[in-house]
């Protein structure tokens, strides 16, 4: 087992968004300093970090100086170039490592890993490198189907629903970069996710799975725990743990899944870092996903992931989300969080709010009751 990072040590974070911000806040609670490396000045993560480097991810001298200033490096989103981690890895421990990052950056590699490496089922799919391959994939999978970029897609970006053969040509021209992947449309009953943490000693823990609901392709609500049969919840947790183990992960990873009407689960995608659907854990668990991530990256023992409350998390997106802020501040049982973003653009995640409910009560609580105090959710 790797020696644990002592209090006062410095964790380097690649990326300065809200996930980096909340990671830095969790690290401070455990006595660590954070140094954020990102191209954008005054990013949310930099606002709460002890140090910051503003530079492109391919700036070799800046990366070398960054490595010399930190004890371990992690990343807050998977679109950091893999070459950045390859530059840093000989100089400083990187957790998770470049192998996990490469798998999760590419949907073709990711789906192959899920089916073959982790043994977790996915929806039928085909790689698409040309219009001819797209026609063949449609013939094999049928319609409707979802055409997606293999890289750089999130929150509904980089994908198109194909409902009829005539949709294919325009979608092929619009989506970039190539290649693409075609996935059979799954008539799911619900969208679930489960978040696992795995330490340097190989020990892993997993939070309760949650049900996620989206609005305009962006996560809107997460219900914790998911109101599903115990066998489904246990299967979701096993899948997440299997992914973490198969990735040889050190850190936190989220597995997004589709729940089918027959109770089976299909994996959708992996996020090898803290995840939006896990923000409820900050307030409803002794150690939330960001603290578990810091513990893993720093070589500390992982904490108990059990929740002490049920919870509903609502994202605050765009100007309409920000308009709810004042009401959230005075809502009983609600923990509001803002991310320090200056501009409230439409579709931009500006914060979130978590409503805490007595443990074990969400299952019998109506949506109207569960969302009380979250204003407009």
The model's confidence at residue 105, banded by pLDDT at 50, 70 and 90, is very high
* Average pLDDT of the residues in 151-170: 85
Residue reference for tokens 């009380």: 372
Q: Which residues contact 161 (CB under 8 A, 6 or more apart)?
A: 144, 145, 146, 147, 167, 185
Whether residue 142 is found in the same domain as residue 202: no
pLDDT surpassing 70 at residue 86: yes
* Predicted local distance difference test score (pLDDT) of residue 138: 96
Tens digit of each residue's pLDDT (9 = 90 or more) over 234-255? 999 999 999 999 999 999 999 9
Quote the mean pLDDT of the chain: 96
- Is 5 a member of any domain? no
CATH of the domain at 287: 3.30.470.20
Domain boundary pick from 136, 153, 184 = 184
Q: Which long-range contacts does 7-11 make (Cβ < 8 Å, 24+ apart)?
A: 7/31, 7/32, 8/32, 8/33, 9/33, 9/71, 9/72, 9/298, 10/34, 10/35, 10/50, 10/51, 10/69, 10/70, 10/71, 11/35, 11/70, 11/71, 11/72, 11/73, 11/74, 11/294, 11/297, 11/298
The pLDDT value given to residue 156:
63
Residue 268 lies in a domain: yes
pLDDT score for 303: 98
What is the distance in angstroms between the CA of the first residue and the CA of the last residue of the chain?
Answer: 45
The pLDDT of residue 176 is above 90: no
Lowest mean pLDDT among 149-163, 275-289, 310-324: 149-163
pLDDT at 145 over 90: yes
Phi, psi (deg, nearest 5) at residue 358: -55, 145
As given in the structure block, the two tokens for residue 92 are 């400083």
The share of the chain scoring above pLDDT 90, in percent, equals: 95
Q: What is the predicted pLDDT for the residue at 118?
A: 97
pLDDT bucket at 157, cuts 50 / 70 / 90: confident
The mean per-residue pLDDT over the stretch 306-314 comes to 98
Q: CATH number for the domain including 79?
A: 3.40.50.20
pLDDT of residue 177: 86
What is the domain extent for residue 146? 124-184
**This prediction's pTM:** 0.96
Same domain, 209 and 305: yes
* Residue 317 shares a structural domain with residue 299: yes
Number of domains in the chain: 3
pLDDT digits over 33-72, tens only? 999 999 999 999 999 999 999 999 999 999 999 999 999 9
Domain check: are 214 and 358 in the same one? Answer: yes
User: How distant, in Å, are the alpha carbons of 82, 87, 153, 214, 224 from that of 192?
Assistant: 28, 35, 19, 11, 10
Q: What is the pLDDT of residue 306?
A: 98
- What pLDDT was estimated at residue 265? 98
Task: Please tell me the distance from the alpha carbon of residue 297 to that of residue 313, in angstroms, as a whole number.
Answer: 26
If asked whether residues 19 and 67 sit together in one domain, one would say yes
Both tokens of 153, joined, read: 């897609």
Query: Is the residue at 79 inside a domain?
Result: yes
Binning pLDDT at 50, 70 and 90, where does residue 155 land?
A: low
User: For position 130, what pLDDT does the model report?
Assistant: 95
Check whether residue 197 and residue 275 sit in a common domain.
yes
- Whether 342 shows a pLDDT value over 80: the answer reads yes
Q: What is the pLDDT of residues 314-323, one digit of tens each?
A: 999 999 999 9
């Amino acid at each position: 087992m790797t020696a644990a990072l002592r209090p006062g040590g410095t964790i380097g974070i690649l990326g300065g968004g809200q996930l980096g911000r909340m990671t830095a806040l969790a690290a401070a609670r455990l006595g660590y300093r954070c140094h954020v490396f990102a191209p954008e000045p005054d990013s949310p993560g930099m606002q709460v970090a002890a140090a910051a480097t503003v530079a492109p991810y391919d700036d070799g001298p800046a990366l070398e100086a960054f490595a010399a200033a930190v004890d371990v490096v992690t990343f807050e989103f998977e679109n950091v170039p893999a070459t950045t981690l390859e530059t840093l890895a000989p100089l400083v421990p990187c957790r998770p490592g470049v192998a996990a990052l490469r798998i999760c950056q590419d949907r073709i590699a990711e789906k192959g890993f899920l089916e073959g490496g982790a043994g977790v089922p996915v929806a039928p799919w085909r790689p698409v490198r040309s219009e001819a391959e797209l026609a063949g994939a449609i013939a094999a999978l049928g319609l409707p189907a979802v055409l997606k970029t293999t890289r750089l897609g999130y929150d509904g970006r980089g994908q198109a629903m194909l409902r009829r053969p005539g949709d294919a040509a325009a979608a092929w021209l619009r989506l970039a970069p190539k290649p693409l992947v075609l996935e059979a449309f799954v008539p799911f009953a619900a969208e679930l996710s489960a978040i696992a943490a795995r330490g340097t000693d190989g020990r892993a823990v997993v939070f309760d799975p949650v049900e996620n609901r989206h609005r305009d392709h962006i996560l809107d609500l997460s219900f914790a725990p998911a109101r599903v049969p115990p066998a489904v919840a246990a299967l979701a947790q096993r899948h997440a743990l299997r992914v973490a183990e198969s990735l040889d992960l050190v850190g936190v990873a989220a597995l997004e899944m589709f729940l089918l009407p027959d109770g089976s689960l299909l994996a959708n995608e992996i996020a090898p870092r803290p995840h939006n659907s896990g923000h409820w854990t900050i307030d409803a668990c002794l150690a939330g996903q960001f603290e578990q991530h810091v513990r893993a990256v720093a070589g500390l023992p992982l904490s108990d992931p059990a929740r002490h409350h049920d919870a509903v998390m609502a994202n605050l997106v765009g100007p309409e989300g920000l308009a709810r802020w004042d009401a959230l501040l005075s809502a009983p049982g609600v923990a509001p969080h803002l991310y320090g973003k200056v501009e409230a653009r439409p579709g931009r995640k500006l914060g979130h709010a978590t409503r805490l409910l007595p443990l074990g009560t969400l299952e019998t609580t109506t949506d109207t009751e569960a969302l009380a105090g979250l204003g407009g959710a």
